[in-house]
């Protein structure tokens, strides 16, 4: 282990969780596992700790952060005027891969909300994240633990590779909770008007939202800013090229990466990075597969996206952003 890099804790011990809660209390950063992706956490009430998140991520300071809480009873500390449909969603899908955008309380300061009047809140469904939240007893602000615009990490090693060199090895920590089970960032649902609106698709689908709330989703464009909504985001270094799922023409591709469901054969000369058997497996393995392409220094990664509904919509959303010209040429 290099003394320059932070220690990768072996995670689940009670001691590791207490140390991590104490680190947060002292203003340090703790990267921790969630079921979606790993987060880079700080005390959501500590302005200088939160400023440290922005430095480590290289993220513009006006981008809002999600506040993670441990239980539903903490929700009204952070949010006010919560619509009934948001309570339905919280009851049905928390802990889980869903972030609610709500009108902020005075506790949610500008340094969390990017100066907006709303705040993003989530209860993650991961035993280590929940144990940390229980021990810390207050909100943990946490974006995905990657550099701005890059792919979210779904393992502790990927966190270390992404941001290890920017963390302070004397104070900051990375908790290792194994690979994330969902593999894509949470569904973000704006709950500021009469109807819920999806700002970022994820494993909680439109159908699930309509089922829980009995309401139709609002499809008009939101005024809210969210960095996950930028055209270029979630991009690896390799150029990502999307193929038509019905007619995946692949030619001249010796030495490029290939990601597709197991039933698509590997084209001659391509390097297979993932062969998921279903959409959940596709979501779970996608970011590690893209990372593997970068570790192998592949110039390009050809991808056949899944074509269905459900989580496939979120997969296509992320792949679309990863394949934007600007992002893939960095």
Interacting residue ranges for Mg ion, rule: CB under 5 A:
144
Q: Which does 119 bind (CB under 5 to 8 A by kind): ligand TXA, Mg ion, none?
A: ligand TXA
CB 199 within 8 A of CB 224: yes
Q: Which does 314 bind (CB under 5 to 8 A by kind): Mg ion, ligand TXA, none?
A: none
Task: Select 186 or 323, whichever has its Cβ closest to ligand TXA.
Answer: 186
Interface residue list for ligand TXA (CB under 6 A): 34, 36-37, 39, 63-66, 99, 101, 113, 116, 118-120, 122, 124, 142-144, 185-186, 188, 199, 224, 226-228
Q: Which does 118 bind (CB under 5 to 8 A by kind): Mg ion, ligand TXA, none?
A: ligand TXA
Q: Which does 89 bind (CB under 5 to 8 A by kind): ligand TXA, Mg ion, none?
A: none
Q: In whole angstroms, what is the distance from residue 234 CA to residue 320 CA?
A: 9
Q: What is the dihedral of CA 139, 70, 317, 292, to 10 degrees?
A: 90
Task: Select 63 or 291, whichever has its Cβ closest to ligand TXA.
Answer: 63
Q: Which does 188 bind (CB under 5 to 8 A by kind): ligand TXA, Mg ion, none?
A: ligand TXA
In three-state form (DSSP H/G/I as H, E/B as E, the rest C), the secondary structure along 103-141 is EECCCCCHHHHCCCCEEEEECCCCHHHHHHHHHHCCCEE
Task: Select 83 or 201, whichever has its Cβ closest to Mg ion.
Answer: 201
Neighbours of 235 (CB within 10 A): 23
Task: Select 132 or 188, whichever has its Cβ closest to ligand TXA.
Answer: 188
Cβ-proximal residues to 178 (8 Å cutoff; 6+ apart), any chain: 11, 33, 155, 156
């Amino acid at each position: 282990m290099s003394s320059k890099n932070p220690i990768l804790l072996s995670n689940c011990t009670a001691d590791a969780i207490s140390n991590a809660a104490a680190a947060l209390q002292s203003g340090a950063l703790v990267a921790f596992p969630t079921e979606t992706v790993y987060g880079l956490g700080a005390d959501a009430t500590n302005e200088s700790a939160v400023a440290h998140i922005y430095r480590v991520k290289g993220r513009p300071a006006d981008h809002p952060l999600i506040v993670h809480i441990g239980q539903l009873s903490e929700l009204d500390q952070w949010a006010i005027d919560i619509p009934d449909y948001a309570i339905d969603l919280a009851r049905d899908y928390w802990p889980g891969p869903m972030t609610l955008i709500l009108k902020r309380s005075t506790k949610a300061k500008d340094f969390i909300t990017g100066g907006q009047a709303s705040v993003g809140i989530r209860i993650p469904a991961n035993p280590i994240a929940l144990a940390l939240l229980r021990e810390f007893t207050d909100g943990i602000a946490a974006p995905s633990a990657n550099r701005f615009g890059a792919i979210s990490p779904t393992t502790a090693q990927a966190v270390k590779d992404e941001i290890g060199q920017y963390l302070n090895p004397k104070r900051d920590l990375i908790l290792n909770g194994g690979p994330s089970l969902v593999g894509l960032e949470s569904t973000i649902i704006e709950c500021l008007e009469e109807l819920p609106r999806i700002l970022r698709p994820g494993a909680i689908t439109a159908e699930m939202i309509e089922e829980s709330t009995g309401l139709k989703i609002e499809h008009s464009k939101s005024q809210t800013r969210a960095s996950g909504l930028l055209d270029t985001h979630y991009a690896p270094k390799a150029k990502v090229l999307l193929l038509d799922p019905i007619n995946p023409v692949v030619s001249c591709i010796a030495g490029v990466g290939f990601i597709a469901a197991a039933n698509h054969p590997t084209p001659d000369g391509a390097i297979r990075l993932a062969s998921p058997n279903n959409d959940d497996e596709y979501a779970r393995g996608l970011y590690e597969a893209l990372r593997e392409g970068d570790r192998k220094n592949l110039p390009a990664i050809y991808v056949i996206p899944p074509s269905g509904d459900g989580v496939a919509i979120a997969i296509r959303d992320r792949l679309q952003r990863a394949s934007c010209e600007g992002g893939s040429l960095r």
